[in-house]
Amino acid sequence: MPAAIPSLQLLRNARLYAPDPRGVVDVLIAGERIAAVGRDLESPPKSWGCTVHELDGALVLPGLVDAHVHLSGGGGESGPETRVPPLQFTQLTMAGVTSVVGLLGTDGTTRHPAELLAATRAMQRLGLSAWMWTGAYPVPTPTLTGSVRGDIVTVEQVIGAGEIAISDHRSSQPTFDELARLAAECHVGGLLAGKAGVLHLHLGDGRRGLELVRRILLETEIPARVLQPTHCNRNASLWVEAMELGGRGLPVDITAFPPDDDDEALPAAVAVAQWLDAGTPTDRLTLSSDGGGCLPVWDRDGQMVRMDVGSSHTLLQTLGVLYAAGRPLEAILPLCTRNVARQLRLRGKGEVAVGADADLLVVDDALTVRALWARGRQLVTDGAALVRGPFESGGAA
């Protein structure tokens, strides 16, 4: 377990993007929360034991929210030896992530939501904020309690179902009725639990694209905000469709795939730039990493020719490309901070504000991680991890 949280910490001279620009300010942390933000804050009395961190005008951002991470490991699509091992704690913290939503993918047979729940709780105990999607690619989908709705209502960490696969040769080829029913389970479960209740959909390369999503919007009463397709930038035609439905209020999630010349996926930075330039409202546009997931490259016969592993580092890399191209931080930061927190109703997340959780990321001008606080605990300092998982090299937490 990480060390206890100092009761008061004062971050002096932070160049804050909250994600809106706030200029150079001080940030006072009290326990796990932000107590004050402003210019030249008075120091608390010495007897209160406040720790002061001088930031000298460094960039301070909200900790990132990554809503698509295979915490217990993804993969296995080229045999059991290709199952990706569980993510290590510092693979998130060194990528600037303070809030994470875990999920299962193709393998809903040898992997189970109970294992994912344990991995999610491990991240919480080590100091991050963590939730999970119940289920996996197939429909019917594996659950903890016997139903998606039951999981959302009774298990604190479950905020919806995912990643349910559509338009993909690895999906269970769910029908319209099956998918609509699953969306309803998420929606009603969310209402009963006071949670987002979102159906997080893995989109494959199939020609049907977002057809089933479009039909749910047209033929059922389920609100658009319940559906969240991801990997929408995986090919050009899917992206055109996502931009069109996004303009009509559908949440759209982009995956920060690692750069790959052979791939037909649009780099996340290109997709974001196209969206911004089209003038489409950006409040429902989000960016996630597919961290810990396998990113297989297939040939025409569905044979895997190569496999990469996703990493949360691609979030800051994507923001870095956009920032270097002149996009203002306040236009791009919400995609992996405020927009995700609002879409998934993660209270106190995605913003630096009085009363919010003290999730703070300090980066240099190339958007490289220098320091990180999660719920008031400092986890990274001087670009190095302060806290590690018990099985990581460098020792126990």
Which positions are catalytic? 290
- Can you tell me which residue has the tokens 């139903």? 147
Closest CA to 213 of 182, 169, 234: 182
Tell me the closest approach of the beta carbon of residue 113 to Zn ion, in angstroms. Answer: 16
For residue 31 the two structure tokens come to 């326990």
**CB nearer to Zn ion: pick between 265 and 371:** 265
**CB nearer to Zn ion: pick between 115 and 205:** 205
CA–CA separation, 39 and 355 (whole Å): 17
Tell me the closest approach of the beta carbon of residue 293 to Zn ion, in angstroms. Answer: 6
Task: Decide if 97 contacts 53 (C-beta within 8 A).
Answer: no
User: Count of residues binding Zn ion (CB under 5 A)?
Assistant: 2
Backbone angles phi, psi at 355, to 5 degrees: 95, -20
**CB nearer to Zn ion: pick between 131 and 137:** 137
Q: Which of residues 112-171 bind Zn ion (CB under 5 A)?
A: 163
CA–CA separation, 383 and 366 (whole Å): 13
Task: Decide if 83 contacts 374 (C-beta within 8 A).
Answer: no
Among residues 53, 187, 195, 202, the one that binds Zn ion under rule CB under 5 A: 202
Closest CA to 37 of 23, 57, 48, 51: 23
DSSP secondary structure, 17-83, as one string:
ESSSEEEEEEEEEETTEEEEEETTPPPPPGGG-EEEEE-TT-EEEEPEEEEEE-TT--B-BTBGGGB
111 near Zn ion, judged by CB under 5 A? no
Stretch that binds Zn ion, among 138-146, 194-202, 237-245, 325-333 (CB under 5 A): 194-202
Tell me the closest approach of the beta carbon of residue 105 to Zn ion, in angstroms. Answer: 5
**CB nearer to Zn ion: pick between 163 and 241:** 163
Helices (H), ranges, 99-210: 113-126, 148-154, 176-193
**CB nearer to Zn ion: pick between 75 and 197:** 75
Tell me the closest approach of the beta carbon of residue 219 to Zn ion, in angstroms. Answer: 25
**CB nearer to Zn ion: pick between 127 and 292:** 292
Stretch that binds Zn ion, among 29-37, 200-208, 232-240, 271-279 (CB under 5 A): 200-208
CA–CA separation, 185 and 216 (whole Å): 13
Tell me the closest approach of the beta carbon of residue 202 to Zn ion, in angstroms. Answer: 4
Surface-to-core class of residue 163, CB atoms within 10 Å of its CB (0-12 exposed, 13-18 middle, 19+ buried): buried
Tell me the closest approach of the beta carbon of residue 230 to Zn ion, in angstroms. Answer: 6
For residue 223 the two structure tokens come to 């609100």
Q: Which residues bind Zn ion (CB under 5 A)?
A: 163, 202
